[in-house]
């Protein structure tokens, strides 16, 4: 890496300047080193964002969205300043890197970025007011034995606008989250098994990319990555050599996941949603909007603390 940087400098590819006084290379990202690892947050960035939208003195909310509520496409009057809406939502997308708890809410707001309604703007302001009350929150990355564990879940046909399924997943390195998502699938699934298996394929691709990244930096894992899934039929498809005719339209996803499992590069495990607090919190934080008491009790599982 150092040789590449020196070559770029020697060839005049970049112009390098001394770092100004009292400035950090990544000014909006705060990193504090601790005995147990490091803590990463966006405190300064949130403050500047609140000042930009004039919410610095607003009353905080305990959750980023209304409990058990989803945004609708044509709900209310069109917003008169859509470019402002887009700017704020893009800023919130950047904040997801250290705030997993707002992923679901920001994902909903992103779906209406081209034609926002006033109700969507109110939802975005609620996210900002939640961030105001948790401005010092971030992610704690801990030391430990290197292993990857992923929790995958899918809410079948849940979107009221187009009946597409919503994927929720989170990847842990040691005991800290390093990748997560809450997003709609690109196609409509005809069954919960189909939706769960598509989710498995998406998570498998993410794990393959992370493993390749580790290989590039000569970092080895002690055991194959493990995916936790709550659909026994999707798990059976991941290792069953018999291809079922009713799932032919999933052939590419089927072979992609199954190849990883057969090679031993990936393990897929069954979990019981009712008995696993971590997986239960995954569903609540990434697939649903819940009351404050439930939301706050799950935040520590995401290492989202101050």
Phi first, then psi, for residue 31 (nearest 5°) are -125, 120
As given in the structure block, the two tokens for residue 244 are 């079922």
**CB burial of residue 4 (10 Å; 0-12, 13-18, 19+):** exposed
Chain centroid to CA 2: how far? 31
DSSP codes of every residue in 137-175: -EEEEE-----EEEEEEEETT--TTT---EEEEEEEETT
What three-state secondary structure class fits 41? strand
Query: Tokens 């112009």 appear where?
Result: 15
Residues 39-98 have pLDDT tens digits of 999 999 999 999 999 999 999 999 999 888 889 998 899 999 999 999 999 999 999 999
Q: What is the pTM of this model?
A: 0.80
Whole-number average pLDDT of the chain: 84
| pLDDT category of residue 294 using cuts at 50, 70 and 90 | low
Enter the tokens of residue 56. Answer: 């610095």
With beta carbons less than 8 A apart as the criterion, state whether 187 and 166 touch: no
Indicate the class that CATH gives domain 144-271. alpha beta
Domain limits, the chain: 38-133, 144-271
Alpha helices in 25-180 (DSSP H): 43-52, 82-95, 103-110, 118-133
**What would the mean pLDDT of 117-144 be, rounded to a whole number?**
95
The DSSP H or E segment spanning 259 is helix 251-262
Q: How does pLDDT run across 230-274, given as a tens digit for each residue?
A: 888 888 878 775 655 666 666 677 678 888 888 888 888 876 544
DSSP state of 102: G
pLDDT the model gives residue 273 = 47
């Amino acid at each position: 890496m150092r040789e590449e940087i020196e070559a770029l400098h020697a060839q005049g590819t970049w112009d390098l300047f001394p770092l100004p006084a009292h400035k950090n290379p990544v000014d909006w990202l705060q990193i504090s080193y601790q005995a147990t690892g490091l803590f990463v947050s966006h405190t300064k960035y949130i403050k500047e964002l609140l000042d930009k939208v004039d919410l610095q003195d607003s009353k905080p909310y305990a959750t980023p969205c209304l409990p058990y509520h989803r945004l609708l496409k044509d709900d209310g009057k069109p917003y008169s300043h859509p470019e402002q809406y887009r700017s704020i939502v893009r800023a919130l997308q950047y904040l997801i890197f250290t705030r997993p708890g707002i992923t679901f809410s920001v994902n909903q707001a992103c779906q209406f970025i081209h034609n926002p309604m006033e109700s969507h703007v109110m939802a975005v302001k609620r996210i900002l007011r939640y961030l105001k009350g948790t401005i010092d929150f971030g992610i704690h990355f801990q030391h430990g034995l290197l292993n990857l564990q992923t929790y995958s879940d899918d809410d079948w046909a849940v979107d009221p606008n187009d009946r597409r399924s919503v994927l929720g997943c989170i990847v842990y390195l040691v005991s800290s989250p390093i990748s997560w998502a809450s997003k709609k699938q690109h196609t409509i699934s005809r069954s919960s098994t189909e939706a769960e298996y598509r989710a498995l394929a998406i998570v498998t691709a993410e794990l393959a990319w992370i493993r390749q990244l580790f290989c590039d930096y000569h970092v080895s894992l002690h055991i194959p990555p493990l995916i936790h899934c709550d659909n026994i039929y999707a798990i059976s498809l991941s290792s069953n050599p018999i291809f079922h005719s009713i799932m032919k339209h999933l052939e590419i996803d089927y072979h992609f996941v199954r190849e990883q499992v057969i090679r031993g590069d990936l393990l897929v495990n069954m979990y019981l949603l009712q008995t696993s607090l971590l997986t239960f919190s995954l569903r609540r934080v990434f697939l649903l909007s819940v009351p404050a008491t439930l939301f706050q009790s799950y935040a520590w599982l995401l290492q989202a603390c101050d």
